[in-house]
Structure formats: C-alpha cells, structure tokens
Amino acid sequence: RARVLYDKGTNRRAFHLGQVDKYSWKDTGSSFGLSDTLAAYLWAQLEQRTQIQAKRRALFETYATALEPHAERLGLRLPVVPDGAEAAYHMFYVLVRDQATRDAVLQGMRAEGVQPTFHYVPLHSSEAGRRFSARSTPCPVTDDVSGRLLRLPFYNNLPPDDAQRVIDTFLRALDAAESH
C-alpha cells in the first residue's frame, strides 16, 4: 500500500515493472517529490547545516541553562542530550506537573504575546489512530506526557533578547499557574 500511496494513489510502479498492462488509481495518494524551488531551498540549508545546528544548539543551551535552576522548585523536566549523542535540536520542550498547569502556562504566555505550543495528540488517541487501529490500547504514560508537554518557540534566528523574553514569560506564567 505504501508504494501506491507514494505513486499518487496509482499502481504505476507495477505497470513499469510489467506486472500490469496499464496503471490506474487504486487508493488515495499524494505527490511527495520536491519541486525544483523546494529542492534548491533544501540544498542551501544543507550547505549551511553546521551553522544552522550551531544556532539551534545555542538556543537549546540558553533555554536549558536558564530553566535548570528552577526545575526542582517548579517540578519541571527538561530535555537531556546524552553524552556522546548528537542531537537534532529541532525543538525545546518542557514537561510540567500536570495538564492544568500546562494549559495555564500556554494561556499565560499567549496573553503576553509569546506563542508556545503543546506537542501533538498521541497516535492512539488521534482520529486516524482510532480509525485504523485494530483495537483500542490504553497508553497511560503517553497520555500523561502528552498532557504535560509544551514546546517553547524555537527557530534558527531567534534573537537573544527574544529568547530571554520567552524564558521570562514562561517562568512568570508557570509561577502564576503554580500559585493557583
């Protein structure tokens, strides 16, 4: 089925392999190839990978260094990069005590013009997961983590002053949530 989805919902590959005499639509699918413009954009980013990763690592470390002293008092879990591992630095997440705290922090930060996000709906409880799963499977740890996780704004060129604003806003919103 994956090949059909990749081939825009057709059995085009089977046709090219001589397995069928014509090809037609068999399922949903999409066009997954990159346009020349997107490929050029990706190539430029790949050429700058080292510099981009250095910026992302610096932001990650800025957040981690600023939040670590507050972690125990506020019940935070911060991401850890194991010694010897190379991280992608594609996000910076924080686990807070509970979903009510997470929701209050999201609301408090947004009220101050900072846009954190919660991560994602776990697959087993998503619309597609429920539709395609053979059976309902409880995943209490996944549900718990999903309800407590939030992501701080994280992108290559976030200026240091803005990163500090994110940190200050996060800590204020968390203190306010904890005091209720």
DSSP structure string for 129-167: HHHH-SS----HHHHHHHHHEEEE---TT--HHHHHHHH
At residue 25 the predicted structure's pLDDT band, cuts being 50, 70 and 90, is confident
Give the model confidence (pLDDT) of 43-74 as tens digits.
999 999 999 999 999 999 999 999 999 999 99
Classify residue 71: in a domain, yes or no: yes
Q: Clarify whether residues 58 and 135 are in a common domain.
A: yes
Q: The domain containing residue 21 runs over which residues?
A: 1-33
- Report whether pLDDT(83) > 90: yes
17 DSSP assignment: T
**Count of domains forming the chain:** 2
Q: Clarify whether residues 15 and 88 are in a common domain.
A: no
Q: Clarify whether residues 83 and 169 are in a common domain.
A: yes
Q: Clarify whether residues 16 and 80 are in a common domain.
A: no
Lookup result for tokens 């994280």: 154
Classify residue 41: in a domain, yes or no: no
Q: Clarify whether residues 104 and 137 are in a common domain.
A: yes
Q: Which of 19-23, 104-108, 175-179 has the lowest mean pLDDT?
A: 19-23
| Structure confidence at residue 139 (pLDDT) | 92
Higher pLDDT, 130 or 56: 56
Lookup result for tokens 């997440």: 93
List Cβ<8 Å contacts ≥24 apart for 60-66.
Answer: 60/87, 60/89, 60/92, 60/154, 62/160, 62/163, 62/167, 63/92, 63/152, 63/163, 63/166, 63/167, 64/92, 66/164, 66/167
What mean pLDDT value characterizes the chain? 91
List Cβ<8 Å contacts ≥24 apart for 120-125.
Answer: 120/146, 121/146, 122/146
Single-letter amino acid code for the residue at 140:
P
Looking up residue 114, the CATH number of its domain turns out to be: 3.90.1150.10
Q: Clarify whether residues 18 and 72 are in a common domain.
A: no
Classify residue 42: in a domain, yes or no: no
Classify residue 146: in a domain, yes or no: yes
Q: Clarify whether residues 26 and 66 are in a common domain.
A: no
